[in-house]
Every structure is written in C-alpha cells, then in structure tokens.
Amino acid sequence: MRPIAIGVAMIVAFGWASVTAHAQSWKPPAESQRCPSKWGAGDERGSGNHMKPESVLRATRLIKTGEVIDLAHVLGPSGPFSGTRRFDVHTKRTFMNQASNRRGSNEETVISEIGQVGTQFDGFAHQSIEYSHYNCFKTDEISTRGGFTKLGIEKVGTLITRGVLIDIAALKGVETLPDTYEITPQDLQQALQRQNLRLQPGDAVLINTGWNKLWNKDNARYVKSCPGIGVAAAEWLAKQDPMLVGADNWPVEVAPNPDAQLSLPVHQILLVVNGIHLLENLKTDELAAKGMHEFAFVMQPLKAQGLTGSTVAPIAVR
C-alpha cells in the first residue's frame, strides 16, 4: 500500500503545485495596441455596452421559480477592509416634530470610501497603466477634486444579463481554495464542462473560490492574500467577451501575484486593456450550495458622479 499512498500524495501535491507551473509574467501593452477600444474612440462604458434589451430578455428567460439570492455581504464597520479604507456610521437623532402626530426623525452620516468597500464594483477610473486608463483617457485630464469627469461610475447604469457561476472550489473538491492558488484557464474550462455550461458574450461571470467563508470570521487572513484568477485566466476570460467578471474575494485575482514583480495585473488586463468591469467581495456560498450555476443577474451601481467604483448589492434570480 505504501507505493500507492506515495503516488496519490504526489498527484495531490502536483495538482496544487501546478499553480507555480502556470504562473506567468505580464507586460502592459502599448497604447497603440489597446486604443481605441473595440467599442470606439471616446467610449466610456466598455463592457457595459453589452447591456441591451437582448441581454435583459436573455436573462429573464432563465427565471423559472422567482427565487432571489443575495450576492452581497452586509456592509458594516466589522467587515474586512484594505489599507485605510473604512465604513463608519454615525446616527443623527435629528429632531422630534412638535406637530400633533409627533413624527420622529433619524438620519446618519457615513464616513467611508463608498466606491471601494464591501461588495464592490470597479469602474474604469479606478485603475490605470501608469497614468493612462481605459480607452487611453489620461488621469491628469479627467481627475478633479470633485471626481472624474470621464469614466465615472454613473456611466455604467443598470446591468441585467445572464449570470454564470464557475465553481472552482467544487471542481477541486474543497470548501476553500488554498490561500494563493492561481486559477488557470484549464480550471475555468474544466469547471464549465463539469457544469455543462458554455460562456456567451455579455455574461456576468462569477467565480466561487470559497474565500467568502472567511468574511467577518478571519478578516486578517481574508485581506492578506487570496486565491483567484491569474494572468492567463484573465486573458482567456477577456476573449469570452463578458459584461463583468466577479469573485468571492477582494481583488478577483490571485494575490499576491506569483510573479513578485507584478501588482494586481488582472485589474489592468480587464479594466484598462479590455474595458471589462470587476465585481469584488461577492457572497457566492448560497449559489454554490444550491448548484445555481446559471441565473438572471441584476445589479445597479450608485448614480454617483465621478466615482471610481460603487458599493453594490447584486442579486441572482432563477
């Protein structure tokens, strides 16, 4: 039995070690290689251009029972935050109206980066290659103290489309992928084959790594690193032409990147180079537990002028 046990151990070890074998470096393309966008010079919506009546109708055809699954974590001060990001709520007991019906009133002041906390949606002003954003808008030309004059999150609007959950944790037979596991194109393709699904242009592609199980349970581990898609997987997904790519971790991509010289390159590959939005810190455990791999996806970012992103509360409907 010993040789068999050793062989099984080697296979298991090789399976998880394959992350290193698939890791690759990446160099940002020149502006001449990525601009103008395929959506046209001056375009600010990128993959949001997939939002058309056809995408809505395609999504509604997937609704059979009317069951709604929330994909957002509750936004509060106890959640995991990166760096100096925060979410502080201060309740304002405003006044008791003296009219006969004695109407009381309460409000709140929130001190937070409302574009980059909780379950959040990344806009194109959020990331750049040096000082050049999606479609080669320049930071110095579009940024002001009051927000961005181009690529603001208000340009996105409502997104309704077919949603697809790619369950990599289930593919690997684990609840949570290892801390810095790099998801490869082969992982994505094998999971889709296992789920008997194919991606279509304009899909909302959501990835389950199991990492969301750490939310509010081990926040320090949650933000220190995470499993996620690597460079090759991001480039493969970009070729599938999705409306957005999301995951149940904080950057969608593997962090830190296996190449120590790279800083979150998937953000640049998807947002800057290809104009594809990112959706972070999703709550995918209920979808995964119910085997809900295809559904109607609905989300609307804040109508907040000039923001780099938006806290959001997307839903899946089947």
Q: For the chain, which residues make up each domain, given as ranges?
A: 25-80+114-317
Cis peptide before 178 (omega within 30 of 0): no
Burial status of residue 85 (CB atoms within 10 A of its CB: 0-12, 13-18, 19 or more) = middle
- The yes-or-no verdict on residue 78 having pLDDT over 70 is yes
CA–CA separation, 177 and 265 (whole Å):
20
Q: How confident is the model at residue 112 (pLDDT cuts 50, 70, 90)?
A: confident
What is the rounded CA–CA span in Å between residue 279 and residue 120?
A: 6
End-to-end CA distance of the chain: 48
The fold adopted by the segment(s) 25-80+114-317 is Glucose Oxidase; domain 1 (3.50.30)
Least confident of 11-20, 35-44, 187-196: 11-20
Residue 93 has pLDDT above 70, yes or no: yes
**Coil/strand/helix, residue 104:** strand
Of the CA atoms within 13 Å of residue 309, those in its CB half-sphere come to 20
pLDDT (0 to 100) of residue 20: 44
Residue 18 scores a pLDDT above 90? no
Which tokens go with 18? Answer: 């394959």
